[in-house]
Each structure stands twice: as C-alpha cells, then as structure tokens.
Structure 1
Amino acid sequence: MWIDLLRWAHVIGATVLLGTGAGIAFFMVMAHRTGDVKLIAHTAGIVVVADWVFTASAVIIQPITGILLAKSIGWPIMHGWVLWSLILYVLVGLFWLPVVWMQQQMRDLARNAMLNGHVLPTRYFKLYRIWFACGFPAFFAVLGIVWLMISRPVL
C-alpha cells in the first residue's frame, strides 16, 4: 500500500512537471507570437503564477517521493538509472531556476511597457530568446527522466 501511494504521488509529480512545463511554454510562445504587449503581460503573469504553484510544488515532491520509493523498493539511489534520473533532474533544475527568473523579468517588462504605452524593450526579446533556448534541454531531460522511470534500464 505504501509503495503504491509513493508510486502514485511520484507519477502525479512527473505528470505535473511535464504537463505544466509544456503548457507554460506553449502559452508563453503563443502570446509572444502575437506581439500584443497587453496579452504578453497578462499571459506572462499567469505563467509565473503557474510555475510557482504547480512546477515548484512538483519540484519539491519529486525527489522526496522518488527517494522514498527507491528506498522502499530497494533500488540503489547512487547507481544505474536512478542515478541518471537524479543527474537529469539536477540538469532540469539548472535550466528551470533561471527560466523562472526570466519569466518574472519578461512579465515585468511587458507590464511596464503596457502601462506606459510603450513597445516591448530590447531586453524583453533578449530574455525571451534565452528563455526559449533553455526550454529545449530542460524538456528533453524531463522526457529522459520519464523514460528512465518507465523502462528502468540496466546501466
């Protein structure tokens, strides 16, 4: 029963990480493509809240449930696929933390432009390009983690 509960919580956390990450990226990209400062400011505000509410919660839950699950089942944490999952998890975090900061900056820049009747500043576009580029390695690393969790290959 305990292991089933841990598995369930861990799968829910992985689903939230993958789904929220993909959803946030989609909505931010679609808002950006409109060029509408008001829409970008509004969407960026929602994206920041969603990242803190959903992604941050899952980021905390995943290692806790994963370590408890591995220990309960007897999987060695510092070996094989579990270790590679942890390495990829750290990689995702190295991209996610700056991305959250960039989203907040883009939100603030868009809000200021909207409130002052200005166009988006050059800094917004620079942050957006970096934000966009950071999404690819983080997304593929999460996909890799999910694959490792499902296949549990002997490494």
Structure 2
Amino acid sequence: MRLFSILAAFLFSAAAFAAEPDELLDDPALEARAEKIDAHLRCVVCQSQSIAESNAPLAKDLRILVRERIAMGESDEEVMDYIVERYGDYVLLKPPVQGNTLFLWGFPAAALLLGAAGAFFFLRGSKKPAAASAPLSEDDEDAVNRILDERG
C-alpha cells in the first residue's frame, strides 16, 4: 500500500509543473503547443529548470509571453526565435551547436575522454613490475655478503 502511495504521488507530481490556471489558453491545441515550448525554455533565474517546472516569477512571465505570442498567431519557431532574441541562446535548454556554445557541447565529452585516459595510464602504470636493479659491483656484493654473514 505504501508503494502505491509513493507511486501515485510521483505520477501526479507532474501536474505541479503545469502552467497556473490564470495562464492557460482556452484552446487545448494552442495550450499543448505552449506547454511544448515551455519544456524547451530554461528558467533564466533557476538552475537547469524549464519554465514549465519553475515557480519563479520570471518563469511565469515567460509562460505568459509564450501564450500571448501563440494567441497572436505566431508559429512555434517564431515564438522561440522571439524569446531567444530577447534572452539569448542561454534561455534554450538545448542550445544550438555554434561557435559560442562549442564549450557547452564539447566539455562533457572532453572531460570523459580525459578521465578515461587518466584512468588508463594510472592503471597501466600500477601494473608495471618494479624496474630491475643494476647488477652490483664486486665491492658492493662483498659488502652485502659481509653484512649478511655478520647477522648470522
């Protein structure tokens, strides 16, 4: 029973991320378009949240702006372009691959490769046998034998 309660809470928590009632469009098809756009836009004052997930006042303003632009008859692309023009590529949860965003796209891959290379060389180095020592000179060998004889 407890598992069912947890599962139900998890499933119904998605409703908490929906737009507030005063933001909703009357036409369900237009509202579906707005929700789709909301899911692709970053809340610029939150960390890694879409405006659909955020309760921040700026996220609410962006949700209202999206719905206003859709109600004006703009396409999804026109709405996205308008918001990107105002806030920059940062507002997109998946920024386009271009010169100024290459670091964002390349850093995770580079970090993974560097980590794998570091692990490879670390593990490879730890498996090497100890370097063979140079043969002892006759004087050194005599000194070692004397010490061993004295001990016993």
TM-score if structure 2 supplies the norm length? 0.29
Which structure has more RCO (C-alpha within 8 Å, separation ≥ 6)?
A: 1
Bigger radius of gyration among the two: 2
